[in-house]
Amino acid sequence: MHSSLYTHRTLVRAAFALAHVFVWVLSFELLSAALASVGAALAATALLHATSQTVSLYTTPFAARFLHRAGARRSMSLAALAAVAAFAMFAHIFSEREGALPLAALCSAVVLLGLYRALYWVPYRVMDDRTAEQAYRSHYLRELGIASLPLAGALILIYSPLGAAALFLCAGLLLLGSMIFLARAPTAYERYDWTFAESMRRLFSASERPLLSSSFLQGVQGAALLFAWPLAVFTVVDGSFLVLGAVMSLSLGATILLRAHISRAVRDTPLGDSIHVSAALGASGWLLRLTAASPIALIIVDTYSNAGNPLRRIGVDCAAFEQAADLGHFVDEFSALKDMGQMLGRITLALILALAAVYLGAFISLALAILIAACAAGVSLYAFQPGRIHA
């Protein structure tokens, strides 16, 4: 990959690793104070997440056609600007603790995040041009650096005089810096011929049902991993931002170091290629999360779940999980359908979580979301069998 694009991607990932977890946690905390009900606050936060994903779902076909006309560099630049605007709004929202609940501003910010997600396509193979040994060392150093950023974000949030505003301003500055390198990167034009109506029709057509099923289940797991799980950790650690950041960073770092060894150990067993074993590993990681009641336990089960998941191949931070267009290789109609299927999965889990939070309370609804993700992890192994989906 071109060095400027590589640097741009690294800075974008760093910005979201720094701030993304705290977007939803701070929204939940703000809504809890305003609504005086933890269940209602969780429901409202889940609806905000569903709103962001709905915006992405309905704008993805238009964004893909824009990519064909304007090129990847312009589309990615507009996406970065949308994210900068969203983080600027979050900085303002969370710096103003007095007065009425800024619901309109919160909705506007999550809409901007949804637009960012729809516009941010990466139609390049995400790899390095250096030698294998250099790239190997650089990969681990970069991933470990990114893994440390949730903890860095917590430290900024706690110790900066500006608090949350400083956190989101730092993320916005990283995104602005990434645009400097993006301006020097080559562009690409990807053909996308389907209209919005055709995209929606094909998404729900019988011929694309395996594709929709697999991407939907992956989206359910994505929402649980990047939305429900941080909120669950936040409640378990009694609202400590520092412990939340430490749990996220340490588990991500341990995952990076241990994933290859765990995968190799599983492959070397007599049942290493068994789809039943893979399904059990994927589901058990989620189920073990339900048993964690201390920071150490949270780190252990999170590491096991991330490192043992055979489908989580594109990284463990939010940017790598969500932003790679078809695993970072190309963009076409089926890439858009995969993205839209994942967004449907995220929307569905968020709506279930919102409904459960109203009637069952925050703790039970978060446990339910994790249980649903466990079921999705097990079933998705069968949906991802070779030949079942478009490559």
Q: Under DSSP, is residue 362 helix (H, G, I), strand (E, B) or coil? A: helix
How is residue 36 written in tokens? 């005086």
| pLDDT at 159 exceeding the cut of 60 | yes
| Per-residue confidence (pLDDT) for residue 124, from 0 to 100 | 62
Instruction: Summarize pLDDT for 238-267 with one digit per residue, the tens.
Output: 999 999 999 999 999 988 888 766 666 656
| Per-residue confidence (pLDDT) for residue 316, from 0 to 100 | 43
Residue among 32, 35, 366 nearest 229 (CA): 366
Q: What is the DSSP-derived secondary structure letter of residue 186?
A: P
The answer to whether residue 201 sits within a structural domain is no
The total of other beta-carbon atoms located within 10 Å of residue 263's CB is: 17
- Nearest 5°: the CA angle 271, 272, 273 is 95
The answer to whether residue 192 sits within a structural domain is no
Q: How many domains in the chain?
A: 1
| Per-residue confidence (pLDDT) for residue 335, from 0 to 100 | 84
Instruction: Summarize pLDDT for 162-185 with one digit per residue, the tens.
Output: 999 999 999 999 999 999 999 988
The answer to whether residue 40 sits within a structural domain is yes
Give the chain's mean pLDDT: 84
The answer to whether residue 119 sits within a structural domain is yes
Residue 330 is part of which domain span?
3-184+210-383
The residue ranking higher by pLDDT, 190 or 232, is 232
The answer to whether residue 325 sits within a structural domain is yes
| pLDDT at 311 exceeding the cut of 70 | no
pLDDT bucket at 307, cuts 50 / 70 / 90:
confident
What does 127-171 look like in DSSP terms, one character per residue?
Answer: --SS-HHHHHHHHHHHHHHHHTHHHHHHHHHHHSTTTHHHHHHHH
Percent of the chain residues topping a pLDDT of 70: 80
Q: Cβ distance 24 to 45 under 8 Å?
A: yes
The answer to whether residue 194 sits within a structural domain is no
Q: Give whichever of 89-103, 186-200, 207-221 has the largest mean pLDDT.
A: 207-221
252-256, 311-315, 362-366: which has the minimum mean pLDDT? 311-315
User: In CATH, what number is assigned to the domain containing residue 253?
Assistant: 1.20.1250.20
Instruction: Summarize pLDDT for 315-352 with one digit per residue, the tens.
Output: 444 444 444 333 443 556 788 899 999 999 999 999 99
**pTM, full prediction:** 0.88
Give me the mean pLDDT over the 356-366 stretch.
95
Provide CB contacts within 8 A for 213, sequence distance 6+: 341, 383
The answer to whether residue 374 sits within a structural domain is yes
pLDDT bucket at 368, cuts 50 / 70 / 90:
very high
Q: Which residues of 356-381 are buried (b: 16+ CB within 10 A; e: fewer)?
A: bbeeeebeebbbbbbbbbbebbbbbb
The answer to whether residue 200 sits within a structural domain is no
